[in-house]
């Protein structure tokens, strides 16, 4: 089994670029449907790092990785990365300033390569019992995330896929289908309610006559793109439980499919997005359901299924995030006090690409 590396700026717009390529009439391709599922707030090492035991070629972990409780104290307690992760509560820090400390150990972002030394320290600033420091310095052994264990073994895992913004959920989710957060470096409710105005892949698909559909559960976060609120797109939104399996079974999934999970716990329907403190067991059940639905569809032989995460959620990852040569997508500068110029990426996140056209255990990029 091998792993492939994807260029940093292509990370969150990979599906967009691939879609446009595969639907180019000059380029013959068997792929006619791309399904995108973006899970929540877990790093690569936390979810897939121990998959290195299955395949040494994966840039994962072996337990020698560590962070000090204090990066400035040479005698500080060390936390070695372990495989004891299970239910995580409370939620680790993943604001812009928290991630800056996790990556660099301080507010000084000049180090190159990024040292990735401040995860335990930043967690300790939130919880001085060191319980959170232990949580962020732990990952799941493969048998605790068995659906990913099977998919990594059978398909392609990308081990250089970085969050687009070193910040929280919504700036990164805005990047997924538009290649920019519109300057957002945090979750600001009033701006999300107003809707971000940038052009997205959905308008491009519509202009090209390519079908798309959004299958949502609690809330379609794609509605944070203002343009998707237009009346002409109402029919593109489908309630997942009512429509996804039915459309897949009938071979009627559109060319570009976005599957959105349950972001909130409801009575009898626990959240399945992987965001702490939600149980990753529910996320594994959900991913398995989507995969098996696609596998049973008559469209399977024309399908590419991309599973990725919006951002790392404060969990440790040992691979230095790119901090040089990252171009701004649109020249917009983020708000004060950070005035971020989008010249570095976030922390590495898990990404698995699934298709019958991918040879067992290999990636194509």
Give the three-state DSSP class for 303. strand
Q: How much is the pLDDT for 18?
A: 53
Q: What is the dihedral of CA 123, 125, 129, 132, to 10 degrees?
A: -10
Mean pLDDT value of segment 231-254: 97
Q: Where are the alpha helices (DSSP H) in the chain?
A: 14-22, 44-48, 96-104, 119-126, 131-136, 146-154, 169-178, 189-194, 201-208, 240-249, 280-295
pTM: predicted TM-score of the whole model, two decimal places? 0.93
What is the number of other CB atoms lying within 10 angstroms of the CB of residue 24? Answer: 11
- The stretch 241-255 carries a mean pLDDT of 97
User: Rounded to the nearest 5 degrees, what angle is found at the Cα of 99, between the Cα atoms of 94 and 105?
Assistant: 140
Query: Given a cut of 50, is residue 360 above it in pLDDT?
Result: yes
User: What does the alpha-carbon distance between residue 316 and residue 85 come to, in Å, rounded to a whole number?
Assistant: 12
C-alpha span between 316 and 84 (Å, rounded):
14
Amino acid 249: pLDDT:
98
pLDDT digits (tens, 9 = 90+) for 294-336: 999 999 999 999 999 999 999 999 999 999 999 999 999 999 9
Superfamily of domain 33-61+142-354: Alkaline Phosphatase, subunit A (3.40.720.10)
The structural domains of the chain, with segments of one domain joined by +, span 33-61+142-354
N- to C-terminal Cα distance for the chain? 15
Mean pLDDT of the chain, nearest integer = 91
Task: Kindly state the average pLDDT of the residues 207-219.
Answer: 94
Q: What is the pLDDT of residue 363?
A: 42
Q: What is the pLDDT of residue 161?
A: 96
Can you spell out the DSSP letters for 155-201?
SEEES--B-SSSS-HHHHHHHHHHS--TT--S--HHHHHH-B----H
Q: List pLDDT tens digits, range 92-120.
A: 999 999 999 999 999 999 999 999 999 99
pLDDT band per the 50, 70, 90 thresholds, residue 359: confident
């Amino acid at each position: 089994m091998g792993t492939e590396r994807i260029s940093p700026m292509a990370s969150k717009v990979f599906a967009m670029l691939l879609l446009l390529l595969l639907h180019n009439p000059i380029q013959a391709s068997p792929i006619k449907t791309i399904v995108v599922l973006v899970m929540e707030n877990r790093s690569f090492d936390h979810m897939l790092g121990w998959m290195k035991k299955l395949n040494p070629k994966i840039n994962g972990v072996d337990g020698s990785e560590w962070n000090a409780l204090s990066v400035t104290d040479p005698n500080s307690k060390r936390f070695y990365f372990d495989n004891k992760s299970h239910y995580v509560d409370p939620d680790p820090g993943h604001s812009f300033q928290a991630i800056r400390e996790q990556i660099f150990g301080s507010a000084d972002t000049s180090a190159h390569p990024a040292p990735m030394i401040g995860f335990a320290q930043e967690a300790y600033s939130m919880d001085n019992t060191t319980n959170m420091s232990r949580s962020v310095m732990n990952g799941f052994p493969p048998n605790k995330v068995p659906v990913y264990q099977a998919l990594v073994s059978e398909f392609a895992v990308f081990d250089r896929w970085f969050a687009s913004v070193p910040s929280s959920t919504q700036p990164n989710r805005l990047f997924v289908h538009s290649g920019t957060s519109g300057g957002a470096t945090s979750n600001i409710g009033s701006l999300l309610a107003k809707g971000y105005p940038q052009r997205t892949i959905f308008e491009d698909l519509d202009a090209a006559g390519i079908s798309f559909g959004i299958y949502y559960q609690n809330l379609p976060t794609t509605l944070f793109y203002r343009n998707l609120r237009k009346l002409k797109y109402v029919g593109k939104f489908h309630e997942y439980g009512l429509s996804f399996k039915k459309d897949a079974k009938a071979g009627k999934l559109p060319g570009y499919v976005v599957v959105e999970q349950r972001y909130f716990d409801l009575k009898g329907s626990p959240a399945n997005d992987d965001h702490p403190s939600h149980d990753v067991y529910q996320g594994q059940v959900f991913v398995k359901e989507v995969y098996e639905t696609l596998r049973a569809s008559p469209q399977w032989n024309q399908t590419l299924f991309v599973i990725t995460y919006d951002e790392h959620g404060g969990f440790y990852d040992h691979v230095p995030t790119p901090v040089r040569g990252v171009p701004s997508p649109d020249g917009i500068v983020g708000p004060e006090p950070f005035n971020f110029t989008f010249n570095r990426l976030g922390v590495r996140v898990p990404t698995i690409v699934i298709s019958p056209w991918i040879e067992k255990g290999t990636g194509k990029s």
